[in-house]
Structure 1
Amino acid sequence: MHALVVDPAAPCALRRGDAPEPEPAPHQLVLAVRHFSLNRGEVAFAARRPAGTVHGYDAAGVVVRAAADGTGPAVGARVAAFGAGAWAQRMAVDTTAVAEVPDGVGLAEAAAVPMAGITALRTLRTRSVLGRRVLITGAAGGVGRYAVQLAALGGAHVIASVGSRARAAGLTELGAHEVVVGLDGVDRPVDLVLDNVGGPQLAAAWDLLAPGGDIQVIGWASDAPAEFAPYSLFHVGTPKTITTFGDVHEVGSDLATLLGFLADGRLSAEVSWRGPWERVADAAQALLDRRVAGKAVLDVEPSDQLAVR
C-alpha cells in the first residue's frame, strides 16, 4: 500500500512511499483511510523516528475488516481513529480508539478531531471550569481552537493567547472572551492554564496562576527553556500545580463525544488547510511556519473523489 513514511532526506522528513499492509491484532480493526490530519508536533519531530516508519495518528475512513474479537464497529462503518500509522491507505487501530462518525459530519472534518480534540477535552476536564478563568496559550493552533470552544461550552471565562494579532482571527467567534498577544493585558489571576507554548511564557503564566490553580503543559512551541526565578515555585497556601499531559488511553468514548458536538453544531473542526496527500510537504511546511489557523487535513482518495464522504 502507499503511505507517508519517515525519510530524513525528504522535505520535512516525510515522503509518499510503499509500506507493508497492516497486520491487525485480535482487538484491532482495519480502516481504509480517506482523510488524515497533521499535527505540528508530528511534523516537527518526524526526523527523530526511524526511517521508513509510517507516521501519523489521526485518520477517518471506512472499516474494511472488523476486529477478530468481535468488538468495535462493523465492516462499512464510517469512523474516526487515533492510532500509530494513520498516514496510509490502510491502518490497524484498537477498537477502543475509534468512534463512528455521525450522519452529517464529513470524514475530512472527523479526521481533524482525534489528537487535538482529545487533548483539549481531557485537559479541560481535569477540573471544573464553570465560572473559572481559563487561559489558553497558542490558542490559534489545532489544540488551542478546540480548547477555546470547549472551555466556552463548559462555562469558563476564556482568555485566548496568540503569538501575533494576525493569529487572533476568529477566536472571539469561537467563544473567547478576551484575545491577547502573549500575556499582555492579562492583569487578573487565572484558575487554569492550557499551555501550548512553553519557554519564558510558561514561567510568566505561573506568576498569573491563582492559588489552587493548575497549568496543564500540552505543547512547547517555544525554542527556549522555561526559567523560574529562585523560590518562585514555592507557594504558601492552597497549592498551585504544573501538570504534564499525555493520556491517550482508550480515547473512543471521548472521540465520540467530540464528534457528537460536531454533529450538533456546538463544535467546529476548524480545518483551514486541505489538499491531496501528494502535497504533504506544502501542508507540513505551512504548519511549521504557523500559517495554519487550526487544522491541516490531507485527502487520500484521488482528487476526482474529494467530494465523496
Structure 2
Amino acid sequence: MKAVQLNRFGGPEVLEIIEQPIPRPGPGEVLVRVRAAGVNYFETLLRRDLYAVTPELPMVPGVEVAGEIEAVGEGVDAALHGARVAVPMFAIGRPTGGYAEYLAVDAASVVTLPDGLSFEDAAALLVQGLSALHLVRRSPPRGRTVLVTAAAGGVGSLLLQLARRAGAERVIAVAGGPEKLDVARSLGADLGIDYREPGWAGLVREATGGGGADIVYDTVGGAVTRACLEALAPQGKLVFGALGRFELGTAELESMILQNQSLKGFALLPLLTPEGLRADLAELFALAAAGALTVQQGGRYRLDQAAEAHRALESRWSTGKIVLIP
C-alpha cells in the first residue's frame, strides 16, 4: 500500500510517498480502507518540528480517517465487514498512520457513519468538529455577541454555525479576504471583518456600539490574539485554543485584569472520554447528514500530493477542511 512518510523535518517537500505492506488486523482489530484522511495545521508544525512535542522519525502523519472496513480480526463481529466508519485516531492513542491507503485499528475505536454523510465530511468533523462542539459547550454563547477567528476555516466554519445553534445573539466572523468572508456569511455570520485591514478590532467595536464582543473564540493566535483582545468587551471572555502561538505579555494580561476580562484556555484531548467521544461524533454526524450543519471542504488531494496539501494549508488561502483521498 501507499503511505506518506516523514523522514526528516523541513518544508512540505520532505513528505515522501513510500510502499508498505497492507497491515493485517489482529485480534479485536479491523482493517479500514481509507477513503479520506484529514490534514491538520498542527501536522504542518510537526513536519517542521515546531509543535509542542517532537515526533520520532520516520513517521506516517495523520490522526483522522474515514473509510470502509475491509477485513476483521479474530473476535470481531463479521457483520462489521463493509461498514462505513470514521476513526478518531488522535483520541485513541494513535498519533500517526492516517496518511495511508489502509489502517488496522481496534474495532472498538471506529464510529459508524450515517447514510448520506460523505467520507470527506466525516473526516472534517473529527478534530475540527469536536473542537467546535466543545468550544461552544465550555463557553456557551447564548444571548451573547461572539467573535470567531479563521471563520472560514475547518474549526471556524463549524464553530460559527454551532454558536448560532446554541443561541448566540450575534456572530462576528473574522477571516482573511472577501471570499472567506462570503463563506462565513453564507454559513450564518451576521458580520464579516477582514483581519488584514489595519485596526480591524475598531470595526468590531464600532459594529457593537463601542462595547466589543462578549466572547472571542481565538484558534489562530499570534498577533491576531492581540487584536482580539482589543475587540473584547469589558468583562468579556477570550477563549484561546491555538497551542504554541500564545503571545500575550504582562501588559496585556494586566489590562485584562483592569477590565475584569477573563482568559480561558482550550485543549481538546483532555476533554474527551471514550463514552462522550462516541456520543459527540454521533451528534455531529447526524447534524451534517441532516443538512443542519454544513461542512466546508477546502480541497481534495491525492496521497502523492500531500506536500501540495500542506502548502495550501500553510498559505492561509484555503477555506474549510483539506483532505487526502488515497
Task: Mark yes or no: TM-score above 0.5.
Answer: yes
Partner of 2:323: 297
Aligned residues: 298
Residue of 152, 158, 169 corresponding to 1:140:
152
C-alpha distance in 2 between matches for 1:179 and 1:164: 10
Q: Which amino acid aligns with 2:47?
A: A
**Does residue 174 in structure 1 map to residue 175 in structure 2?**
no
Residue of 190, 211, 218 corresponding to 2:241:
218
C-alpha distance in 2 between matches for 1:202 and 1:169: 23
SS at 2:279 equivalent: helix
- The farther-off stretch of 136-145 and 42-51 is 42-51
Q: Cα 1:71–1:128, aligned 2, differ >3 Å: closer, same or farther?
A: farther
Q: Cα 1:176–1:98, aligned 2, differ >3 Å: closer, same or farther?
A: farther
C-alpha distance in 2 between matches for 1:151 and 1:159: 11
Q: Cα 1:235–1:27, aligned 2, differ >3 Å: closer, same or farther?
A: farther
C-alpha distance in 2 between matches for 1:193 and 1:65: 45
**Does residue 192 in structure 1 map to residue 218 in structure 2?**
no
Partner of 2:84: 78
Partner of 2:63: 57
C-alpha distance in 2 between matches for 1:29 and 1:184: 53
Give the TM-score normalised by the residue count of structure 2.
0.80
C-alpha distance in 2 between matches for 1:200 and 1:287: 19
C-alpha distance in 2 between matches for 1:290 and 1:198: 14
**Does residue 227 in structure 1 map to residue 249 in structure 2?**
yes
- The farther-off stretch of 1-10 and 178-187 is 1-10
- The farther-off stretch of 3-12 and 20-29 is 20-29
Partner of 1:154: 166
**Does residue 34 in structure 1 map to residue 38 in structure 2?**
no
C-alpha distance in 1 between matches for 2:73 and 2:233: 47
**Does residue 7 in structure 1 map to residue 7 in structure 2?**
yes
Using the TM superposition, give the Cα deviation of residue 242 of structure 1 relative to its aligned residue in structure 2, in angstroms. Answer: 2.3
- The farther-off stretch of 243-252 and 281-290 is 243-252
Contact 2:15 2:307 in 1 (8 A): yes
Using the TM superposition, give the Cα deviation of residue 106 of structure 1 relative to its aligned residue in structure 2, in angstroms. Answer: 1.7
SS at 1:169 equivalent: helix
Using the TM superposition, give the Cα deviation of residue 130 of structure 1 relative to its aligned residue in structure 2, in angstroms. Answer: 1.9
Q: Cα 1:192–1:32, aligned 2, differ >3 Å: closer, same or farther?
A: same
SS at 1:119 equivalent: helix
Q: Deviations over 1:46-77 (max 9, x none)?
A: 24333321111121101234476769982221
Q: Cα 1:68–1:118, aligned 2, differ >3 Å: closer, same or farther?
A: farther
Q: Which amino acid aligns with 1:261?
A: L
Contact 2:3 2:303 in 1 (8 A): no
**Does residue 118 in structure 1 map to residue 130 in structure 2?**
yes
Using the TM superposition, give the Cα deviation of residue 26 of structure 1 relative to its aligned residue in structure 2, in angstroms. Answer: 6.0
Where structure 2 has 5 or more consecutive residues not aligned to the other structure, the ranges are: 50-54, 90-94, 196-200, 206-210
Q: Which amino acid aligns with 2:292?
A: R
Contact 1:80 1:99 in 2 (8 A): yes
Q: Which amino acid aligns with 2:6?
A: V
Q: Deviations over 1:102-128 (max 9, x none)?
A: 111222222222111111111111132
Q: Which amino acid aligns with 2:204?
A: V
Q: Deviations over 1:138-157 (max 9, x none)?
A: 11211111111211122212
Q: Percent identity?
A: 31
Residue of 276, 291, 307 corresponding to 1:265:
291
**Does residue 276 in structure 1 map to residue 283 in structure 2?**
no
SS at 2:143 equivalent: coil
Contact 2:153 2:321 in 1 (8 A): yes
Q: Cα 1:109–1:211, aligned 2, differ >3 Å: closer, same or farther?
A: same
C-alpha distance in 2 between matches for 1:228 and 1:287: 32
Q: Cα 1:69–1:214, aligned 2, differ >3 Å: closer, same or farther?
A: farther
Name the Cα RMSD after superposition.
2.9
Q: Cα 1:221–1:32, aligned 2, differ >3 Å: closer, same or farther?
A: same
SS at 1:229 equivalent: helix
C-alpha distance in 1 between matches for 2:78 and 2:157: 29
C-alpha distance in 1 between matches for 2:88 and 2:167: 28
C-alpha distance in 2 between matches for 1:68 and 1:216: 45
Where structure 1 has 5 or more consecutive residues not aligned to the other structure, the ranges are: 301-309
- Judging by fraction of residues, say which structure has more helix: 2
